[in-house]
Amino acid sequence: MRITRFELFPLGIPLKAPFVTSLGTLSEVQSVVLRATCDDGLVGWGECNPFWSINGETQETCLAVGKHLAKTLIGLDAADIEGAHARMDRLIFGNSSIKSAFDIALHDIAAQAAGLPLFRFLGGTDNRQLTTDYTVSLGSPEKMAADAQNIVRNGFPVIKVKLGGTGDLDIRRIQAIRERIGSITPLRIDANQGWDPDTAIRVLNALADRNIQHCEEPIPRWQFMEMRRVKEASPIPIMADESCCDHHDAERLIALGACQRFNIKLGKSGGLFKARTIIALAEQAGMEVQIGGFLESRLAWTAAAHLA
């Protein structure tokens, strides 16, 4: 089961509507798809969606770095996923997005070789119901309220709301949404690093009675030393996203007592292997996790669903 060939393909998919966060606006998905072939004929597929403002990668950089990663992994036993990560990390620092595509493809091959669906290969069972939220992009309070109403009509059990503008405007956005959809459907809010610590504390306290499950990344990722202060002053649980990429970040945030939850994304962690390490650390610390993602196609999202 030695790897004999890797092929990288650019994938572009226009979005039906712009995806808007405090980090910017996206109107098209630019991903990279990976096909790995072994000497026994097994083929594995992976995908990544580089998110410029979060992991510092683009489709172009992924294609370029991916060629170097492919060279260092040719001849490796596809089941040696830990060894593959050691080789990739020794070759180049960071670049977690393109590394995740290789990781997913290797897991695909290893699970096939074991004759198991991926979730069973990872040690999971099929006794858990998976649910997903749907995101309201950043916009005017009126537009966001209308979008939230459409999401409720489409049957989603939870709504995720992008925030991260001025504090008062964000409060009005949530008020408008609640006036339109009522108080029953729970919300998850995500500031994408858009507030300073004092603004975060003020906004989160103002939204205490709005049935909000958690707030993702309220302050800039480099201010992680301030996260605990925000957490302790907030009536809403804090979830680390951009500040929690790999297991080293998770260890640091746990040691600091910075948050109650992690948002794990394969494109941040470098794939399933390191994501499982984060999950183990969170379990030991009594923390909850969410399996999130960027704008991948169903290929990478299938891997994320198996992890969940």
Catalytic residues: 162, 190, 216, 241, 265
Q: Which among 130, 120, 191 has a CA at the least distance from the CA of 157? A: 130
Sheet holding 187-190, edge to edge: 134-136, 159-162, 187-190, 212-216, 238-240, 261-264, 288-291
Q: Which among 115, 123, 95 has a CA at the least distance from the CA of 276? A: 123
Strands 212-216 and 238-240: what pairing?
parallel
Q: Which among 129, 77, 126, 134 has a CA at the least distance from the CA of 106? A: 77
* Alpha carbon of residue 259 to chain centroid: 16
- Phi/psi-derived region of residue 220, left when phi > 0, alpha when psi is between -120 and 50, beta in every other case: beta
Q: Give the 3-state secondary structure of residue 286.
A: coil
Q: How many CB atoms lie within 10 A of CB 298?
A: 9
Residues linked to residue 25 through DSSP beta bridges, in sequence order: 20
Unique residue bearing structure tokens 């594995």: 44
Half-sphere exposure of 105 (CA within 13 A, CB side): 31
Contact 91, 68 (CB under 8 A): yes
